[in-house]
Amino acid sequence: MTFLHGKSTVVVTQSMALLPVRLKLIVILLLVCQLLCSTIAFGSVLDKDEEEFSEELLLKPLPDRKVLAHFHFESRAPPSISFGRHHHLFPKAISQLVKKFRVKEMELSFTQGRWRYEQWGGFDPISSNNAKPPGVELWAVFDVPQSQVDASWKNLTHALSGLFCASINFLESSTTYSAPEWAFRPDSGNLRYGTLPREAVCTENLTPWLKLLPCRDKAGLSALMDRPSIYRGFYHSQRLHLTATGSSSQEVDSGTVLEQTLTVVLQPISWITGKSYVDKANSQPSWSISSIFGRKVNGKCVLAKSSNVYLQFEKGLVGELKNLHKENANSETNKLASKDFLSYPSFELSVNPDKVFEEVDNLHSKSTSVLYEFSVEKYNDSHPLDLGLTWKIPVVWSCQQAPLHASRFLMGSGNERGAIAIYLKPTELSEGLKKSNIVDKSCELRVNVFQVVPWYIKVYYHTLQVFVNQQSRAVADVMEKIHVSPSKDKISPGVMEMILKLPCGLESAALNLEFDKGFLHIDEYPPDANQGFDIPAAIISYPDFHASMRFSEDGSLDKSPLFSKFQEKSLVLSYTEILLVPLTTPDFSMPYNVITITCTVFALYFGSLLNVLRKRVDEEERFLKSNAGRKTGRLSTLVSKLSAKLRGKPREPQPSTTASSSVSFKLIFKVLLVSGIAICWQYYFG
């Protein structure tokens, strides 16, 4: 008992000795957790703002009986010193992409259709920033040394290809991207630019784009994105613009602004015909949100800081409505206030707006735009927002266009050589420039031209010809600056950047460049090679013209990310058409024919040879004799015996010369056939 008691005493003593060690470990763990929490709290305190998300929708009627819908989503992540931070609203995939590849600025667009500058305008922030060429366009600016830019670009294309389920990884090849100097985006070092004109855009690209939103397409304005409604439109472009607002260092995570836009041009399915007129040729269709999207706005995304719907009447429409109102009222009053614009009998809104704004600081037009704001916060499932516009009289107007309208086309015929022509003609905006040119003869219009040509289109840049008012001009007289990077076979494309100085009163201008068509290896042809090869769209910009819109002097719209973007001066630019060039294409059916006939000859040769080698002549003769004996039958045997008795001679067996002769003839024929085939094969293909 004493031993047991002593043993128990020893156990209790050991447990008492271990207890302080456990307490020490617990205290240490608590201190570490408190230190981490304080570090995270300290890092969050240093953040100036929290993560924010906003959603906005801009609706605008167009002159050609269509409606423009522009969705704008913005997510902001402020700089933070915490490493591997957890994002509440900002998409983690984009944050990792910025930090890993040190992206300073990036823009990616998926576009189907072509923006019609003559009907839909070209001198406003939407057309300058969101009108993109068909297919995929990607450009990025990297915060890395010059030697690492190409490697970062290739890695970025692969990451974006997997993120958006597209063929963006094809842009990793040096033959598909370029490095513009100054014509595309001035003062942007380490810039790379690439396009895929033939990339098809479908729902598998829109779905990952929507997954970057906090509410995806389940709530808020993004719930209006019905796939059939969007993809039956005349034009749609989904765009992602990324900007790093801080330094991408190892200690501090840079702040990031993610701007997602979806621009759609739709034709209303049904409309209410006006009662006061019967001129359907000039009548504008009446529409509502439910008629163009098939859905209503059931409220905002609960994670959005702001959610608004805007209806914009542009300058030309407002001026035309005011003229019609004056004609109907037979009055010569001054222009009315923006709030009185609702009382015009020419149209009717199904929902009263919360606010009405009128554009200010408009320098290029006498009339101003009018903007109606509808807050989505006061709407819900039981009381959805279904904004509708009903026209009561026919209205005809035109959108404000860029100084020049640019178009591009091919000249020449055949598969050997050709020429690229860029044609510029003046628009309505050029009328004011013509008037100023009468007073000031030194008035000049500067035009930037940026063009990328694939390497198999061998452009001769010394053949550049410039025509002004259908008269040939010396290149030095109209050229202010030019930078040319000739293409290298299977290495890099050709790049041309130039600044033209054209007179303000020009009637037309044209540029011509001759080229030769190269030859591709059979492995370099795409599956649809007979369709032709695409030359990416050229970019025409005007350095002296900037598009911006400002709707209030008191700054009430400054909190709106959409109109804060519109207030920034954006360079007026436009994209030309994509050219389709037919190249010399080989007959891809010839390899199939060669393979087919070769396999047939081999089958006949080896089949006949193996058939001859595996057969035995003696066994075949015995087989033929047995078959011949079976065919004679009993009747023939009895007849032969009877004839032998009558003649008094013994019956002789029938010879099998026929069978043996046929066997030997077949054998000789097969051997000769195989030998002839072998000789022909050796003669023609050996």
Question: Mind listing the pLDDT tens digit for each residue in 36-67?
Answer: 554 444 444 344 458 899 999 999 999 999 99
pLDDT confidence bin for 311, thresholds 50/70/90: very high
The C-alpha atoms of residue 192 and residue 452 are separated, in whole angstroms, by 12
- Which span out of 20-34, 247-261, 296-310, 420-434 was modeled with the highest average pLDDT? 296-310
Q: Is pLDDT larger for residue 185 or for residue 160?
A: 160
pLDDT the model gives residue 301: 94
DSSP 58: E
Residues 6+ apart with CB under 8 A from 537: 133, 134, 195, 197, 408, 575, 576, 577, 578
Q: Cα dist. 573→68, 116, 375, 503, 678 in Å?
A: 19, 13, 32, 19, 69
DSSP 490: T
The C-alpha atoms of residue 482 and residue 463 are separated, in whole angstroms, by 14
pLDDT confidence bin for 332, thresholds 50/70/90: very low
Q: Decide: 291 and 269 in contact? Cβ < 8 Å.
A: yes
Among residues 168, 135, 136, the alpha carbon closest in space to that of 154 is found at 168
Residues 6+ apart with CB under 8 A from 3: none
pLDDT confidence bin for 635, thresholds 50/70/90: low
Q: Cα dist. 392→281, 284, 325 in Å?
A: 14, 9, 12
Q: Is pLDDT larger for residue 14 or for residue 543?
A: 543
pLDDT confidence bin for 189, thresholds 50/70/90: confident
The C-alpha atoms of residue 202 and residue 112 are separated, in whole angstroms, by 9
Q: Is pLDDT larger for residue 34 or for residue 604?
A: 604
pLDDT confidence bin for 554, thresholds 50/70/90: low
Lowest mean pLDDT, pick from 218-227, 407-416, 655-664: 655-664
The yes-or-no verdict on residue 546 having pLDDT over 70 is yes
- Residue 430: Cβ within 10 Å count: 21
Q: What are phi and psi of 468, to 5 degrees?
A: -120, 120
DSSP 215: T
Lowest mean pLDDT, pick from 114-118, 236-240, 394-398, 508-512: 394-398
Tens digits of residue pLDDT in 476-513 = 999 999 999 999 999 999 999 999 999 888 889 999 99
Give the DSSP H/E element, type plus range, for residue 527: none
Report the Cα–Cα distance between both ends of the chain, in Å, rounded.
105
In the structure encoding, which two tokens stand for residue 667, read together? 């054998």
- The pLDDT mean for the chain works out to 82
pLDDT above 90 covers a percentage of the chain that reads 50
> What is the identity of the amino acid at 207?
T
pLDDT confidence bin for 637, thresholds 50/70/90: low
Tens digits of residue pLDDT in 377-397 = 999 999 999 999 999 888 899
pLDDT the model gives residue 457: 94
Name the β-bridge partners of 407.
423
The C-alpha atoms of residue 12 and residue 76 are separated, in whole angstroms, by 60
pLDDT above 70 covers a percentage of the chain that reads 76
pLDDT confidence bin for 249, thresholds 50/70/90: low
pLDDT the model gives residue 305: 93
> What is the identity of the amino acid at 246?
G
Mean of pLDDT values over 116-124: 93
pLDDT confidence bin for 609, thresholds 50/70/90: confident
Kindly give the residue spans of alpha helices, DSSP state H, lying in 47-192.
Answer: 92-101, 117-120, 125-130, 149-164
